[in-house]
Chain A
Amino acid sequence: MEPHIVKSFDEALNTLHAQVSRMGILAEHQLGLSVQALVDRNDELAAQIVQSDAEIDALEAAANDQVIRVLALRAPVADDLRVVITALKIASTLERIADYAANIAKRSIVLTAMPAVPTVRPLQRLGKLVQGLLADALTAYHEGNTELALQVWTRDKEVDEQYSGLFRELLTYMMEDSRNITPCSHLLFVAKNIERIGDHATNIAEMAYFLATGGAIEGARPKNDTTLIHD
C-alpha cells in the first residue's frame, strides 16, 4: 500500500505495528520456554518466565494507548481502521497467551517439587504444535497471508485431538494410583492452557484474515475436543 500523504500517520501506525510484533515474538517465546521448563524440571527458567510476563503486560498497555491516540487524532477509515482494530485485538490476545505461559511456568515449579509423572512428553508435543500454529498465525498477520491464516484456522482441530488424548491419558494415571492425582491435575491444567493458546492462535488467524480482506472467515470452525462428551 502507498504511504500516507501525512507521514506522521504512517509513523503512528508503524509504532503500533512494532509494539504488536514485539509482543508476538515474546509471547511465542514464553510459550516455548514454559513447556521447556516443565519438561526439564527447570525452576530457574520457570521463575524467569513468570518475571518476563510484566514486559508483555507493559507492551499491551503501550499498544492500547497508541490505539486510543490513533483513533482520536487520525480517525482512521477502511484498511487503516482495520490495522488499528486488529492491533488492539491481537495485543490483547497475545497478553492472554503470555498469561497462560506464565501459569504453565508457575505449575512447573509446583510439579518439580513432586515425583515425576510420565506424561510430559505428549505435553511437549502439544506445546510444539501450538507454538507452530501461533508462529504461523503471526506470520499470516504480518504478511497478510490469507492462505496461511485459513490453514491455522482449520488446523486447530489437531490441537483438540491431542488435548482429548492427553485428557484421557491423565485420567488413567489418576485412576491407577491416587498419588498421581495432584501432579496429574496440574498437568491437566497445563494441557488446557496450551489448548486455550491454540484457540487464541486461531483468533489471531481470524484477525489476520479480516485485516487482509475486510471480511470474516466463513463457516464454523472444526472442533475435535471430545472431553466435553460423557460416555
Chain B
Amino acid sequence: MFKFLFKYPLSTFANGHIVLLGTWPTWVLWTAIPAAAAGLALLIGSRLRQPGVGLRRPRAGAIWLLQSLLAAVLLLLLWQPAVTTTELKPQQDIILFLLDDSRSMAAREDGSTRQAQAVKALQDGALTAVEKKFQTRLYRFDSRLTRISDLKELRATAPATHIGDSLKQLVDETSDLPVGAIVLLSDGADNSGTVDLDTISALRTRHIPVHTVGFGRERSSHDIEIDEAVLGPRALADSRLAAVIRFHQRGYAGRKSRLTVRDGANVLASREVAFASDGNIQSETLLFNVGAAGAKALQFSVDMLPGEENPANNAVTRMVNVESDKRRVLYVEGEPRWDYKYIRRAEDDDRIVQLVSMLRTTENKIYRQGIQDPKELAEGFPTRPENLFPYQALVLGSVEATYFTAAQRELIREFVDRRGGGLLLLGGRFSLADGGWGVSSLADLLPVVLPDAKNTFHVDPATVELAPAGLDNYITRLVDDPAANVERWKKLPYLMDFQEPGVPKPGAAVLATMDAAGRKMPLLITENYGRGRTAVLATSGTWRWQMNLPVGDPAYGLFWQQLLRWLVTGSPGHVAASVPNQVLLDDGRVALSVEVRGEDYQPVTDAVVEAHIIGPSGISANVEMSPVPDLPGSFQAEWTAEKSGSYVTEVTAQHGDKPIGRDVLTFQRMDGIAENFHLEQNRDLLGRLAAQTGGRYWRPQDLSDLADEISFSEAGVTTRETRELWNMPVVFIAILLLRSAEWLVRRKSGIV
C-alpha cells in the first residue's frame, strides 16, 4: 500500500534525503507559499465585503485554508521534489551472512531448533532475493569465524559464542572486499555479554551496517538462572566465607527452592530461598566454611523446579585459593584486661591467625606473648617498616596515642595505607577519645569521628544488636540462618563496659550497635582506608559473652576469630598476583597481573617477575611478565590455557639476586558451560549492534523486505540514486481531495 501511494518503498524514504531539483532558489518557494496564502486571504476577504455574498466567516476560512494548501502543493511540485539515496551497486557488492553455530542455537522452540528456524528464514526467499541483487558469502561463527559454502555445514554444537570477536575477524579478513552489509543471524547469546567498542568502531569506519536477525524466545516461561556468584578469590583455611549469589527466574514467583554451595560432593552450606517477582535479579548471601587449604572449585546451585526449561543454568563454579600461611596480628595492650586474655584464648583455636601481643603489665614492663624469638618486640613497638610490616594486622587496646612517638604513628598510618594492613581499635580507659586518638595524626584513619570529649569510657552494661550492614557480614555471623543470627545477637549477654564511639564517617559500615540505658550507639564500625582496612570496637567487655554463655558456646570465639580474620585476609604479601576471572568459560585467554612491593611495601619497578604455570596433561610454561607503563610495581602478561582443566600459577619476583617474594594463584578453564546460560534471545544486544552500525534489527518473519532494504548502504561500491516525487499517486490524490473538499464547502454555502 505504501509503495502504491508513494511510488517507492518506505525504506527508500527512511534511508534517503528529500531534495528539491528545481533551479529556482528554495527561499523563493518558502516566500511564495505564504504570499499565495496572503493573496488568497485578501481576495476572499474582499469578496466577503461585497453585498449579497451569503458566506459565513468560518466557511470562508475553510475555503481559504483548502485553497492555500492546494497552492502550496502546486508550488512545491514546481520546485521538483525528489529523494536521493546511496545504494549498493547490484552484483558488485558482497553481502555477508553470519550464522550463529553455537550450542544455544540448538535449543528447540516451537517444534524446531533456533538454527533450523534461521536456515528456514533464509531459504524461504530472503537469501535468494539478496543473491539476485548482490554477491553473497556465508559464514558460521561461534568463538571463531569460518566461511561455509552451504547452510548444511551448520551443526550448532560449538561451546561458545563471541559475536564481537567474529565480527572483528570478519572486518579484518574482508578489508579489501566491497562489503555492502552484514546480516547476522543469532540468538544474541554472546558469552562476553557485549560487543566491544573496537569492533563497533571498525564497522563504523567502513560504514558497514550490521542487520541482525533475532532467534529464540525473548522470555522463557519457566526457568531459573544464576547470573553471578561473588566471593573473594582468596580465603584462609577454615574460614567462613560470605558468597553473594545473584539469580533470576521466570514462572516461579513466590515458589521456594534451595540454594547450595558444594566442594565436590561435599555440601558446605544450603538454605531455602523464596523467589521474588519474575525477571528481577535477586541477591542472596550464603555463608559457609571453606575448609582446608588448597585450590577449591566451589559450585553454587539453585535446585531445579518441576517444569524448568533449562536446568543447566542453575549452577555456576567459582575458584577460591584457600591458603594456610600463618597470618600474624600484633596486639598492643596498655593494661591487663579480661578481653585481652579471652581474645588470646579464642585465637589459640585458630590455626591460621597468630596473635602476637605486647602488654604493659606495669609502667616499665612489657609482657610479650606469641613471639617467634626472644628478640621480637624486645625493643617495644616497632620503629621501622621492616619490623612492623611483616604483621598483617594491628590491634590497639587501652593505650594512649601519645604512647607512640610521632614516627611510630606515621608508621601505623603507612601500615594501613601503603602496606595494606588491618587496624582495629578497641574501647578502653586509654582508648579512642579518652586516649587522645581523636586529636592525633591518625584520626583520619578511623572509621568514626571520635567525640570531642573526655570520660567517654563507662564501666556500665550495654546490650548489643546487629545493625543492617551486619546482617550479611561474615564478621558478625554467629549462626548461618540470617534471622536466627539476628536473634542470637539480641540474646548475647550484655557487655561489661562501653565507650562512646562518636559518629561513623561516610563510607563506614556499622555492623553492630549497643544500647546503654536507652542510648543507642555504634559498637562495631569498619571502613577501608588506602590499601588496608580499619575498625573500631567500642568496648572491652565482650568477655562476658564467654563467661556467661554455656560451656562450649562458640559465639565469643567465632566473633573474634572472624573479626581478626577479616582484619588480616586482605593484607597482601610482597608479590600479589591476580587474574580478572578465575573461571575461564570456553576461552583460554588469561591476563595475569602482579603487584610487586619491596620490604617497605614501596613499588619495585625494576623487578624480574616470572610466572610458572602448570596445567592439565603435563602443561608447563614459564611466562615472563612485563612492567605496566605508568603503574609502578605492576607487571602483566597474557597467556592462553589451551586445555580444559585446573591451572596453578606460581609467580616469583626478584630484585637483582635477592628474592622479593612469591604468590600462587589458580584458575580453571571450563568448556561447554557458557552456552547453557543466557538462553533467552538477547534482543537488547542485537538491537544495539544494529543501531550502532546503521543496520536494523529484524524478526525472521519480516525478512522478505531484507533484499530491498539492504541496498541502502554507504559501504562497498555505491551509487547515488535520485527519484522524482512529483508523479507519486499520493500527490494527485491530495490535489483531488483538496479540490473536492472546497467544492463541498462551496456547495454547502450555496455559492456553487
Are A and B genuine complex partners?
no
Where the two chains meet, the residues of B that have a C-beta atom closer than 8 Å to any C-beta of A are none
